[in-house]
Amino acid sequence: MRFPKDFETRMRQMLGSEYDDFAAGWESAPEYRGIRINMLKKGADAAVKVCTGSLEPVSWCKNGFYIDKSMLSGKSPYHMCGLVYFQEPSAMSAVEALGIEENDFVLDLCAAPGGKACQAAERLGEGGLLVANEIVPKRAKILAENIGRMGIRNAVVTNESPERLAEKYEAFFDKIIVDAPCSGEGMFKKEPQASDEWSLEHTYSCAERQKKIISSAFKMLKKGGRLIYSTCTFAPCENEGVTAWVLDSYPEAELLEINLPGMSCARGEWAGTNRNLTAAKRIFPHISKGEGHYNALFRKNEGTSRSCIKEYKCGNEEIFRSFEKDFLNTDLRGEFISFGDKLYLLPHKIDIDKIRVELAGLFLGICKKGRFEPSHELCLALCPDDFKNVQDISEPERYYHGETLPSREKGWTAVIYNGYPIGWGKASEGMLKNHFPKYLRF
């Protein structure tokens, strides 16, 4: 492809004699496509590999793999029921570098469409809390849909500005992901229009916006907490430049070494700083199998830790418990909370008052005049053993089309394909009425 003139000039200055390899590698390397196998789904790796065969692993992500476009599509049952998440391989590196542990409180500040947020939730398991934020309302809805599809129970999706969240959750999070909006130079191959719209001035304006976002993020980080800053650009002002600014602006910030294979060291001189920034890492497509990416990991060594909890009272818990007794083999725990007729299960007593919330934990379903209608998200968050009624099918396409199926069950029934729930049906008089969401049907 033909690079913008100012981009080529800058990359030649950065890479020197290595520039020709960079340009040639850009032309010859394929567009890398990856999947991450959902660690929250037991046995998902074996199920996916039966479908796809042997897959080449992504060196910096233990459950990430390179995949050919012909192997799986967005209409695959494995994608539809949350066994896999399609993600560009380089983008998998940030969460791996962050080192999330069970019971952490994690914030993904710029989370849509949800790749890193879902990856963070996999590292948390069933413990801890994930707050995934997206400032653009339409993108926040997509984020919530992806979290629901992956069967994540312990996530809250917010639709707020970083500044507003910082007012609410000061010194609250153990780990924070800042995958900041950037100039997107690393995605020129995947999105050629990004190259047409690129300008050197835009990279500098992006850097200023990134600094404002990080300022809010640092306020929300506990003492001893870690923050990963990532971009998908090569621009030094957005990468090493922002990293140096953090260290200059926050004496309590320490740059930590990222020890992941397949990455190149950042270089402070590219951004005009004398600081040693080799602990931060870059991904160059002529060196590693991934698009352009940058990661810098910080620890906050001074400050405080605060809680932000609230007690909730919900009158609809009994309606759900009645449904649970009749149709589930579970005893779900958490804080029940209602928004209109929608019932949610918050993973912790986190205070979400006066915050725009798109998803308040696990969406359980809708309470309708004393009866309960379970959500699609509840079905995907459970295992086959959690249901009293199950119906195995061998042709999921019929279910995804919205067809009614014969059934020997009675009442709410989980439809199972190859050992995984793919949605609800309601059985009566020998037939299973299809409750797969209409907006998802093929």
> Is residue 325 predicted with pLDDT exceeding 80?
yes
pLDDT tens string 338-382 = 999 999 999 888 999 999 999 999 999 999 888 999 999 999 999
CA distance 71 to 251: 49
Residue 96 contacts residue 36 (beta carbons within 8 Å): no
Predicted local confidence at residue 363, as pLDDT: 98
Share of the chain above pLDDT 90, in %: 84
81 annotated active-site: no
pLDDT tens string 43-83 = 888 888 777 778 999 999 999 999 987 888 889 999 999 99
Catalytic residue among 61, 81, 182, 232: 232
- At residue 295, what are phi and psi to the nearest 5 degrees? -135, 135
pLDDT tens string 388-424 = 999 999 999 999 999 999 999 999 999 999 999 999 9
Choose the weakest-confidence range: 48-52, 132-136, 203-207.
Answer: 48-52
Predicted local confidence at residue 417, as pLDDT: 95
CA distance 398 to 404: 8
> Is residue 8 predicted with pLDDT exceeding 80?
yes
The one-character DSSP state at 43 is: T
CA distance 6 to 120: 36
> Is residue 199 predicted with pLDDT exceeding 90?
yes
Predicted local confidence at residue 370, as pLDDT: 80
Residue 93 contacts residue 283 (beta carbons within 8 Å): yes
Residue 386 contacts residue 371 (beta carbons within 8 Å): no
DSSP 242-296: HHHHHHHH-TTEEEEPP--TT-EE--GGGGT--S--TTSEEE-TTTSSS--EEEE
Predicted local confidence at residue 90, as pLDDT: 97
CA distance 266 to 246: 15
| CB within 8 Å of 167: residues ≥ 6 apart | none
List residues bridging with 130 in a β-sheet. 106, 155
Predicted local confidence at residue 1, as pLDDT: 65
pLDDT tens string 228-270 = 999 999 999 999 999 999 999 999 999 999 999 999 999 999 9
Look at the pTM and tell me if it is higher than 0.85.
yes
